[in-house]
Amino acid sequence: MRLNYFLRVTLEGSSPSRFTPSHTRIAPGTIRYLQYFFCILTLFFQVDFWKPDSVSQIRPESTTDFRVKADQVDEVVHFLEENGLTYEVLIYDLNKLVSTQFDSLIRASGHSYEKYNSWEKIEAWTEKVAAENPELVSRSVIGTTFEGRSMYLLKAVRTYGTEIRMTDILDRLDFYILPVFNIDGYVYTWTKNRMWRKTRSTHAGSSCVGTDPNRNFDAGWCEIGASDNPCSDTYCGPTVESEKETQALVNFIRQNLNSIKAYVTVHSYSQMMLYPYSKSYTLIKNHVEMNNLAKAAIKELATLHGTQYTYGPGASTIYPAAGGSDDWAYDQGIKYAFTFELRDKGRYGFLLPESQIRPTCEETMLAIKHISNYVLEHLY
């Protein structure tokens, strides 16, 4: 039985519209009009925004990806057509795609680099890789989640020496790797709700659960592109750094700030390489340098499989969103702070098949190596 559809709407700045609110006149194609239109849509239908992830971030000359229930799709399509918006259905049966996402032919009872792994398998892997390679990797706990899970951090200091470029980098740089940041939310996607994206914290005064961890950092907190509604997917939290996960990462970075030269956070989806700011349209001091570095990094990424990325400041390249970890890291003095939005551009969205894990990792590592070499050549 088909339970969900995934649609993409193309928003053209000059798109005509036959939608006429009874008490409000808003010019078609403007930001205010489009946001008003989608607010009306959400009043009548259950809409889960994927990209951007809230009505407030919708802009002209862009695409909006969202999910609706199958029994509402005909009405939603009619609503879009009546109002002159171009659309396409990208996923006809989301539940089926959730199942077919696990398409890897790799047979493994434990952790696999080419499969999606449960938290239990990831946790066991962190212990194993550190125990079997003590001269290369160490494991520490930087905090616990709301539900009491340990947040493991791996420190890679050396490699086996079979890859010359990486060996040279690790001889001169240490890498701190947090395999999963929002562990509780990740576990929940395996056990209850595949599309869950917030933490699992609870707060007084609301029955709604969770905070968007990437709206919870002290970087223009809750000013733009975030919600103060606890039931929203972009809820910024009751206070800045309210989440235990945020606190753990922030405390670790603050304690090691003198030695941290770059910060990279990895998300999905959109095939973008972003740098600060997302909290505002203000250009950072080293904007030209960061833009050139991002351009060179995605050029390197594309050499392997031809995957095309776009790049630029977060606010203007994808959408404005305050409270992000990359903006916060940059404001702490970490000059090179980037966010990768990995594959794809919407055909699978958050449900990228396992068969694309390896090529995604391979090409992304080329960009990471390029950034690492650049940082080494421009230490500060």
For the annotated catalytic residues, the residue numbers are: 341
List the structure tokens of 135: 């001269």
HEC letters along 149-194: CEEEEEEECCCCCCCHHHHHHHHHCCEEECCCCCHHHHHHHHHCCC
Sequence length of the chain is 380
Q: Which of 368, 374, 298 is nearest to 335 (CA)?
A: 374
Rounded to 10 degrees, the C-alpha dihedral 141/153/284/31 comes to: -90
Pairing of β 86-91 and β 4-11: antiparallel
